[in-house]
Amino acid sequence: MLLLLLIASLGFSAASPALASEDYPEYWLTHLSQVRYKFQVLSSSPKVILIENFLSDVECDYLVFKAKPNAQRLVIFDGDGNQVQSKIRSSEGTFIETNHGNPLILSIEQRLKDLTGFQKSESLQIAHYGQGGEYRPHFDYFDGSTDKGADVITRFGQRYATALAYLVSPTSGGNTIFPKLDIKVAPTKGNMVLFFNVDKNGNVDPRTLHGGAPVEEGEKWIMNRWFH
């Protein structure tokens, strides 16, 4: 029962706002300490958590194998909520459909749900950066205090939290950086970084500004999951 209430609070659908403010996002830490993953809290406010070996080598390799044939230049949301190509993001990738029945991917999706409590999300996005590829610092959330941001949230939904896992590590470069928190995460195959873009009161948190530093040598593949 308690678990159900906690899950509801994470999805901002709890009947009691008090529950949401008391438990969000502490649930992750409580839950993480009960599961088998080793984790490090890189920032406690906003929560930025590194989970070691969330994905096995086989899972990483399979996701890349599935995504590679369909990878295309990735787009970003512009200020009007349109998806456009931009020089701030030089990577290719694709989405992997939810519920396509592949047991390996279903297992990853189930673990993401179990870990975070979020039941609603976008399809998994797989992205590739070649040498020099980068994603300059940006926010994953939409700013509901502007008319355009509020419109995108109504049409598309808010990205409350992000999970970003590394599938192929570059030889050098390609850290995930959080400039306002002075955090650099090494893109180690199988590891995953989780962060909350929106605080417990529903306010977007600009300290979650983050990006992918340029790949200096080799290539980098990642998996993104945005929770709504």
Ligand X SMILES: O=C(O)CCC(=O)C(=O)O
176/191 with CB nearer ligand X:
176
Q: Contact between 191 and ligand X (CB under 6 A)?
A: no
Identify the residue among 90, 116, 169, 176 touching ligand X (CB under 6 A). Answer: 176
Report 140-159 residues binding ligand X (CB under 6 A). Answer: 140
CB of 35 to ligand X, least distance (A): 24
SS3 readout for the chain: CHHHHHHHHHCCCCCCHHHHHHHCCHHHHHHHCCCCCEEEEEEECCEEEEEECCCCHHHHHHHHHHHHHHCEECCEECCCCCEECCCCECCEEEEECCCCCCHHHHHHHHHHHHHHCCCCECCEEEEEECCCCCEEEECCCCCCCCHHHHHHHHHCCCCCEEEEEEEECCCEECCEEECCCCEEECCCCCCEEEEECECCCCCECHHHCEEECCEEECCEEEEEEEEC
CB of 64 to ligand X, least distance (A): 14
Binding mask 198-217 for ligand X (x = CB under 6 A): ------------xxx-----
Under rule CB under 6 A, which residues in 28-87 are in contact with ligand X?
Answer: none
Q: What does the binding site for ligand X look like in residue numbers (CB under 6 A)?
A: 127, 135, 140, 164, 176, 210-212, 222, 224
